[in-house]
Amino acid sequence: MKLKWAIIGALITVIALLTGCEPLTVLDPKGPQAQTQADVIWISIAIMAFIVITVFVMLVYLLIKYRGSKQPDSYEPPHIEGNKVVEAIVVGIPVIIVAVLSVISVKSTYEVEAKPEGYGDKEPLVVYASSSDWKWHFSYPEQDIETVNYLYIPTDRPLEFKLYSYGPITSFWIPQLGGQKYAMSDMITTLHLGADAPGEFMGRNANFSGEGFAENTFNVKAMPQEEFDEWVKEVKQTAEPLTEQKFDELLEPGHLGQLTFTGTHLDFMPPPEGHHGGHGADDKKNSHSSHESTSSEHAEHEEEGAEHEAHNE
């Protein structure tokens, strides 16, 4: 009797704790990439639930049907060689399950790595997202502004993030807009996202990077293109310019609030030249064109280096 009430009490406690949990943001998508990932998660959950339920039903059935009976001690069960149908089912069903999940995984991976669909021929907004201990720097080359620890984005327009790090490897993640991707110090990785509706989302570093990792977060606000343009205009009128000295101070380890600047650090501290664009040739093409447009000064340095190498040869 005591065991019964202990089990009931434990169940009530677990239910009470679960009701206080926040909803899983990965299952509340606000963009096409996140929607694809959420669909894959639900499909995987459904398949696994079907397998688990089927196995337990079969277990109960077999325990009841083939339970021990009151046979004499001299009883010997009949010798059975095997059943080809049962063996085919036991082997074939897992193969089919793995094949289905493999096709879904490969197809969805290519979808989330490519430019999000559904936005027509709109050019993506390119944002260089770089991390340092323990903050995020967002550079907008097209708008010539930069923010720290917060990100404003337009809705209904593809987003193309160029990720790299000024410290240890970090992982850029906005759960409601898409999956995570690593930011490293020696190359740029490209992440395609999109926001279908206005709203505020949470972003963070999802890879442990030291004692300040827990607070290495940033706020994301999606808004219509008109409001985004107004915000850019306001920043250019009110924010202070970002200097090389100020950026060096920002790179010092520590936590900061939200900051806004005109200009970007890409002018005096270009991003890494290496690139990993994921799947698709379009990524490489977009990355090449956006990388060249970040800074005319950087392009001039590359041209001087090429002339110097030709002279040496």
For residue 219, the SS3 value is strand
List residues bridging with 153 in a β-sheet. 222
pLDDT at 274: 81
pLDDT at 23: 66
The domains of the chain, with CATH numbers, are 27-67+83-113 (no CATH), 125-308 (2.60.40.420)
pLDDT in tens, the chain (313 residues): 666 677 777 777 766 655 555 567 888 999 999 999 999 999 999 999 999 999 999 999 988 887 877 778 788 878 878 788 888 988 999 999 999 999 999 999 999 999 998 888 899 999 999 999 999 999 999 999 999 999 999 999 999 999 999 999 999 999 999 999 999 998 999 999 999 999 999 999 999 988 899 999 999 999 999 999 999 999 999 999 999 999 999 999 999 999 999 999 999 999 998 887 554 434 444 444 444 444 444 444 444 444 444 444 4
Q: How far is CA 28 from the centre of its chain?
A: 14
Alpha-carbon distance of 303 to 308, in angstroms, equals 9
Inter-axis angle of helices 32-65 and 84-113, to 10 degrees? Answer: 170
> Backbone phi, then psi, for 28, in 5-degree steps?
-125, 65
Q: How far is CA 288 from the centre of its chain?
A: 22
List residues bridging with 139 in a β-sheet. 128, 146
Closest CA to 94 of 61, 63, 48, 130: 48
Token code pair at residue 71: 């046979």
pLDDT at 304: 46
Question: Would you say the pTM of this structure is higher than 0.95?
Answer: no
Token code pair at residue 52: 């688990």
pLDDT at 279: 47
In this structure, the number of other CB atoms found within 10 A of the CB of residue 266 comes to 23
